[in-house]
Amino acid sequence: QVQLVESGGGLVQAGGSLRLSCAASGRTFSSYAMGWFRQAPGKEREFVARISSSGASTSSADSVKGRFTISRDNAKNTMYLQMNSLKPEDTAVYYCARASAAYAGTWDYWGQGTQVTVSS
């Protein structure tokens, strides 16, 4: 069973930065793509960024391009989301997820989420 645990959320002023972490259990972390999603109050969960199993390929939503950077450390079974120039509209619960394949696939496992609140 795969467990994903997010951390690093909190309250930050607009323009500030946060780094989220997602720690994964198991020995197969390096075999699967990973991703970040977020859900704001009253809205559907939306894609933020994804990274391939090796870390060589990444993609992100237009709304965070140039501000957020996804990365991973397979030796530590951990994925990160560096968030800079935060805006109030980035306020949401952020979730990490594991894909079913090395580059894409369905999102099979989810963490419990970490709250990010950006004040204006």
Model confidence pLDDT, tens digit, residues 16-59: 999 999 999 988 999 999 999 999 999 999 999 999 999 999 99
* CA pair distance 22, 31, nearest whole angstrom: 16
The answer to whether the Cα torsion of 72, 73, 77, 82 is positive or negative is negative
Average of per-residue pLDDT across 92-120? 94
The pLDDT score that the predictor gives to residue 5 is: 98
Q: Which helix (H) or strand (E) holds 90?
A: none
Model confidence band, residue 4 (pLDDT cutoffs 50, 70, 90): very high
The pLDDT score that the predictor gives to residue 8 is: 98
Closest-CA residue to 22 (of 57, 72, 59, 56): 72
Closest-CA residue to 106 (of 38, 32, 44, 46): 32
